[in-house]
Amino acid sequence: MAYLDDAGRQLVSEAVAAAEAQTAGEIVTVLADSSDGYTDVALLWAAGAAFTAMSLFAAFPLPFLEAWDAAFGGWDHQWTTGELASMVIALGLVKFLGVWLIQQWQPLKWLLVPGPVKTMRVHAQAVRQFKVGADRRTTGRTGVLIYLSMAEHRAEIVADEAIAAKVSAEVWGEAMADMLAHIRKGRVAEGLAAGVRDVGHVLAEHFPRGAEDVNELPDRLIEV
């Protein structure tokens, strides 16, 4: 899914170029549709629902058997152990498939992913993107990644070693707040540009641009 048009992409690229004109640091921006497919979470919900249904059947079999008899007219049927076991397994399978299928509706799928899981997956993906796009790719180890994951409504700022040694993670809070303030209103490009400007101000303070500095990483927005 494309969240930005060409004008929005140009806005972000220009913000990166302007910020880097004042610092030896390099800023990489990444816009992701999502950071994970969360298939494992969907499977856990489906398995949990199936296990719960099977456990309820085992604990309270009469309501299930009476409902079956009422539906299919099997009055006074004497259930064998094999039939009962088959019913439990069938109930579990039906429940598993049903819960799995309803999670294909994306709004429900995202609702069922716990917030801490989203946070961890977004952070992990941001670190992976940083290792690919910025880690150890600048002369002074001064790369910074701004990562925005739209489906999870989360963002991360990851800095290279030289920057992390001088700038604590809390310092990026202002950049994060400015960025998300725009994004919550649907202004994604403006939000990314605001985050870039704030990060640029921090980098310029600690890593001012020198006469020999060159642009080592692309200014363009990376969309994944």
pLDDT tens for each residue of 57-111 = 888 888 877 777 776 656 666 777 787 788 888 889 999 999 999 999 999 999 9
On whether residue 169 sits in a domain, the answer given is yes
Q: Residue 132 — very low, low, confident or very high, per pLDDT cuts 50/70/90?
A: confident
User: Are 128 and 217 in the same domain?
Assistant: yes
CB 163 within 8 A of CB 199: no
Q: Give residue 174's pLDDT.
A: 85
Domain final position from 111, 128, 155: 111
Q: Give residue 87's pLDDT.
A: 82
Dihedral Cα 21, 25, 31, 36, nearest 10 deg: 180
pLDDT tens for each residue of 175-186 = 888 899 999 998
Q: Is pTM beyond 0.85 here?
A: no
Domain final position from 94, 111, 128: 111
pLDDT greater than 70 at residue 134 = no
From 28, 1, 34, 25, select the one nearest 12 (Cα to Cα): 28
User: Are 137 and 189 in the same domain?
Assistant: yes
Which structural domain, as residue segments, surrounds residue 70? Answer: 39-111
User: Are 18 and 58 in the same domain?
Assistant: no
User: Are 124 and 163 in the same domain?
Assistant: yes
